[in-house]
């Protein structure tokens, strides 16, 4: 950790990397570090090569995020990314600091600061900065808090414990207003999303004695409604909330024909292990992978084969 901080102190041009199809944890962690580095007199650049979520535009520094790598960089820092390929960039001959909380992280960095017990990567970054004697600004605190509440589902997942609430308390004492963050994340829904959700929910099927809920999202649905793909996430959470359901999955058709699978579980199935079988990763209760198969049913049946064993239910 000391060596990683030394590299940060020595560098001027620092590139902050976030994973493709970004969520609040990767962007919030990166932007939190961005404000720290700017106050140190550094020249940081936050990079994401894919479209950004509409509901995170309130984060300080959001408009500064670039879609391509800067022409000059001395150090790379990645946030909340389990493997290098998910950064969506080519390999570079530069030192890399890897901040994450995924237990499936492949340790691709020169310096790997990983804590699978942390509820969010922003918690890992915050602790690192604290141990290095950095004073956290209100801008950074807002970014870190947003990452935390989003990755914990507003403090309802099994990763939440006393340490998480203590972290949230410290951020609030710095100046974060929880009501503001909650309203920004949940009270600005676009009409396109409300048109998309019924279409996705209409595809809902239940399998394995109604323990598994399955949803589809096609490119045609996105074109019809004008919605973006992350707007279907609420449908997945709705499917998981059904009284009989233990595992919910959303199969999303990508523009190139691949199928992106998002998995969520409720109580005991470790979907992170299931995603790992297919080359993906994640957490016990939330994980995902991308299949090169352009066939919803084939991908669905392959997952059900594994879930049938996990749930000890005969597949029909």
193-203 per-position pLDDT tens digit? 999 999 999 99
Q: Which two tokens stand for residue 42?
A: 């550094």
Q: Which domains does the chain have, with CATH numbers?
A: 2-186 (3.90.1640.10), 192-311 (3.10.310.30)
Mean pLDDT value across residues 163-180:
98
CA distances from 147 to 51, 116, 181, 313 (A): 18, 16, 10, 37
Mean pLDDT value across residues 61-67:
98
Map residue 265 onto helix, strand or coil.
Answer: strand
**Terminal Cα-to-Cα distance of the chain (whole angstroms):** 51
pLDDT digits (tens, 9 = 90+) for 100-158: 999 999 999 999 999 999 999 999 999 999 999 999 999 999 999 999 999 999 999 99
pLDDT at 26 (0 to 100): 98
Contact (Cβ atoms closer than 8 angstroms) between residue 122 and residue 148: yes
Whether 90 has a pLDDT exceeding 90, the answer reads yes
Whether 269 has a pLDDT exceeding 80, the answer reads yes
Contact (Cβ atoms closer than 8 angstroms) between residue 150 and residue 122: no
Cα separation, 143 vs 25, in Å, equals 9
Tell me the pLDDT of the chain averaged across its residues. 97
Predicted TM-score (pTM) of this structure: 0.94
Map residue 261 onto helix, strand or coil.
Answer: strand
Confidence of residue 1 (pLDDT cuts 50, 70, 90): confident
Cα separation, 309 vs 232, in Å, equals 28
Mean pLDDT value across residues 171-176:
98
């Amino acid at each position: 950790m000391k060596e990683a901080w030394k590299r940060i102190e020595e560098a001027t041009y620092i590139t902050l990397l976030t994973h493709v199809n970004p969520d609040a944890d990767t962007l919030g962690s990166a932007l939190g570090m961005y404000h720290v580095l700017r106050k140190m007199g550094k020249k940081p650049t936050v990079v994401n090569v894919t479209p950004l979520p509409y509901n995170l535009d309130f984060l300080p520094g959001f408009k500064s995020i670039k879609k391509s790598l800067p022409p000059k960089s001395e150090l790379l820092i990645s946030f909340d990314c389990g493997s290098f390929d998910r950064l969506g960039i080519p390999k570079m001959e530069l030192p890399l600091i890897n901040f994450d909380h995924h237990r499936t992280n492949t340790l691709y960095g020169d310096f790997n600061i990983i804590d699978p017990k942390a509820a969010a990567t922003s918690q890992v970054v915050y602790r690192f900065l604290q141990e290095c004697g950095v004073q956290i600004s209100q801008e950074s605190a807002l970014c870190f808090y947003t990452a935390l509440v989003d990755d914990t589902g507003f403090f309802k997942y099994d990763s939440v414990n006393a340490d998480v609430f203590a972290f949230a308390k410290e951020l609030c004492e710095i100046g974060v207003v929880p009501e503001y963050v909650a309203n920004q994340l949940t009270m600005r829904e676009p009409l396109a999303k409300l048109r998309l959700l019924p279409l996705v929910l209409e595809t809902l099927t239940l399998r394995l004695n109604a323990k598994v809920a399955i949803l589809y999202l096609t490119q045609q649905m996105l074109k019809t409604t004008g919605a973006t793909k992350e707007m279907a996430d609420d449908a997945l959470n709705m499917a998981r909330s059904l009284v009989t359901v233990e595992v919910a999955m959303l199969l999303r058709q990508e523009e190139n024909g691949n199928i992106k699978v998002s998995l969520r579980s409720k109580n005991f199935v470790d979907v992170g292990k299931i995603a790992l079988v297919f080359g993906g990763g994640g957490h016990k209760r939330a994980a995902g992978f991308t299949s090169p198969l352009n066939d919803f049913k084939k991908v669905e049946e392959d997952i059900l084969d594994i879930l049938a064993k996990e749930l000890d239910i005969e597949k029909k």
